[in-house]
């Protein structure tokens, strides 16, 4: 015990450099010669190193705290926090997430639209005017729609090189014929062909784009007179449910179509037109809609593409109003609307026989 104490005192003195040269050399020699002393010394030295390491650490910590206390901490914090507002920082952080979410949403929307067949329809509008494009067997609905859209803003329009077919009917016996405006609006020339096959050149004498009405006059010198018209225009509104029919030229031959009046308004609540449930096709445009008694209640002008049997006909009273609005001096002859109905007591087939002589195919070039 005593010797251990003395040894460690010497060791401490040696480590601290407090020994004189002679003693130090003697101590070193002792360590070299005695293995036990050497081990004991190293052990002690290591422990003292730990102790001084501890002291140094405490000292360093103290120094660091002193330095820290001299700093302007609020200023450092202010500079450390980005100056972007919260929303920008959130955006930076969640940018990727939100972009991914948005992409997924957009993809889902368009995939759904695609799957449900939204894009398989060529036109988004459900409304289609009924003139027949004679140049293509396949009815180009899209082109027609584009033409309809242009009705009001572009009267001269782009001249469409193709020509159209539609229907018209005699308005008065002296050669006036009624059809729809959209049929003849871009026309270079208009011809009329009756059911016997005779063609007459006509000119457009009046148009009313708002009601989709056009009045043509036969200017061919071969033409004399239609003869007396069998039908009249119905002055009063027709009733829903009434049996109606039309004759038109969706192809080169006259085609009869029957149905009933299904609504008092047209496409999207248009009060100018009736909705009639008659199968109609491009080419039926301009055809008369007659009731059981042979009164014209309207003029076919369009149909709804999405709905079966929803065709639209301009109401006869608007047709009459439009005709009445034609300035008299713009016409060569007066339009005399027939007031005597000779169809009233005939059955349907006989009515048709009589009526079809006054219904014509309109050819537009």
Partner 1 sequence: MNDEKKHTLSDEDIVSGIFQGETDALEKLYKEHFPMVTRLILNNGGDIDDAKDIFQEAVIILYDKISCGQFVLNSKLKTYIYSVSRNIWLKKLAKRGVYSNVDDYEEKLQVEDDIEIQRERDHQFIMMEHALEKLGEPCHTIIKDFYIHNLSMQEICEKFGYTNTDNAKTQKYKCLQRLKKLFFG
Of 8-16, 137-145, 193-201, 257-265: span binding partner 1 (CB under 8 A) = 8-16
Using DSSP bridges, classify how beta strands 190-193 and 199-208 pair: parallel, antiparallel or unpaired: antiparallel
Give CA separation, 47 vs 21, 43, 50, 268, in Å.
Answer: 25, 6, 5, 99
Of 53-61, 123-131, 183-191, 346-354: span binding partner 1 (CB under 8 A) = 53-61
Burial 278-316 (b: 16+ CB within 10 A, else e): bebbbbbbbbbbbbeebbbbbbbbbbbeeeeebbbbbbb
Tally the residues of the chain: 365
- The correct pick among 22, 33, 36, 80 for binding partner 1 (CB under 8 A) is 80
In the complex, minimum distance from the CB of residue 83 to partner 1, in angstroms, rounded to a whole number: 12
Is residue 91 near partner 1 by the rule CB under 8 A?
A: no
- Measured in whole angstroms, how far is the alpha carbon of residue 263 from the centre of its chain? 28
Smaller CB separation from partner 1, 53 or 237: 53
Smaller CB separation from partner 1, 56 or 333: 56
List residues bridging with 207 in a β-sheet.
214
Q: Which of 242, 312, 306 is nearest to 274 (CA)?
A: 312
Q: Which two tokens stand for residue 324?
A: 């009445």
- The correct pick among 9, 98, 111, 135 for binding partner 1 (CB under 8 A) is 9
- The correct pick among 8, 19, 146, 326 for binding partner 1 (CB under 8 A) is 8
What is the rounded CA–CA span in Å between residue 115 and residue 113? 6
Binding marks (x or -) toward partner 1, 304..323, rule CB under 8 A? --------------------
In the complex, minimum distance from the CB of residue 30 to partner 1, in angstroms, rounded to a whole number: 19
- How many residues line the site for partner 1 (CB under 8 A)? 30
In the complex, minimum distance from the CB of residue 36 to partner 1, in angstroms, rounded to a whole number: 17
Smaller CB separation from partner 1, 9 or 345: 9
What is the footprint of partner 1 within residues 32-51 (CB under 8 A)?
A: 47-48, 50-51
Q: Which two tokens stand for residue 202?
A: 């006509």
Smaller CB separation from partner 1, 66 or 120: 66
Instruction: Report DSSP letters for 284-333, one per residue.
Output: -TT-EEEETTSEEEEEEEEEESSSTT-EEEEEHHHHHHHHHTS-GGG-SS
Is residue 353 near partner 1 by the rule CB under 8 A?
A: no
H/E element holding 127?
Answer: strand 127-129
Is residue 113 near partner 1 by the rule CB under 8 A?
A: no
Is residue 52 near partner 1 by the rule CB under 8 A?
A: yes
Smaller CB separation from partner 1, 41 or 164: 41
Is residue 84 near partner 1 by the rule CB under 8 A?
A: no
In the complex, minimum distance from the CB of residue 99 to partner 1, in angstroms, rounded to a whole number: 17
Is residue 77 near partner 1 by the rule CB under 8 A?
A: yes
Q: Sign of the C-alpha dihedral, residues 133, 134, 140, 143?
A: negative
């Amino acid at each position: 015990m005593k010797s251990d104490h003395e040894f460690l005192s010497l060791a401490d003195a040696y480590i601290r450099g407090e020994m004189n040269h002679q003693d130090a050399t003697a101590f070193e020699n002792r360590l070299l010669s005695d293995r036990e002393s050497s081990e004991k010394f190293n052990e002690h030295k290591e422990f003292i190193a730990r102790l001084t390491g501890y002291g140094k650490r405490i000292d360093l910590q103290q120094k660091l705290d002193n330095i820290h206390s001299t700093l302007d901490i609020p200023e450092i914090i202010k500079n450390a926090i980005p100056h972007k507002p919260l929303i920008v920082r959130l955006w930076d952080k969640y940018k990727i997430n939100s972009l991914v979410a948005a992409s997924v949403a957009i993809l889902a929307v368009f995939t759904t639209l695609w799957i449900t067949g939204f894009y398989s329809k060529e036109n988004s509008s459900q409304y289609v005017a009924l003139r027949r494009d004679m140049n293509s067997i396949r009815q180009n609905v899209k082109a027609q729609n584009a033409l309809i859209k242009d009705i009001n803003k572009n009267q001269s329009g782009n001249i469409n090189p193709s020509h159209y077919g539609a229907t018209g009917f005699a308005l008065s016996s002296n050669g006036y014929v009624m059809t729809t405006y959209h049929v003849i609006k871009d026309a270079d020339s208009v011809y009329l062909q009756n059911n016997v096959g005779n063609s007459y050149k006509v000119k457009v004498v009046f148009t009313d784009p708002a009601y989709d009405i056009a009045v043509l006059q036969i200017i061919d010198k071969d033409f004399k007179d239609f003869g007396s018209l069998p039908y009249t225009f119905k002055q009063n509104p027709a009733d829903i449910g009434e049996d109606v029919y039309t004759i038109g030229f969706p192809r080169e031959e006259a085609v009869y179509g029957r149905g009933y009046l299904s609504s008092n308004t047209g496409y999207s609540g248009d009060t100018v037109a009736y909705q009639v449930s008659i199968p109609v096709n491009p080419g039926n445009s301009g055809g008369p809609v007659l009731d059981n008694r042979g009164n014209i209640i309207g003029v076919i002008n369009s149909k709804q593409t999405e709905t079966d049997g929803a065709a639209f006909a301009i109401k006869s009273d608007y047709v009459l109003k439009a005709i009445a609005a034609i300035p008299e001096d713009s016409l060569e002859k007066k339009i005399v609307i027939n007031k005597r109905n000779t169809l009233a007591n005939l059955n349907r087939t006989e009515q048709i026989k009589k009526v079809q002589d006054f219904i014509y195919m309109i050819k537009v070039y």
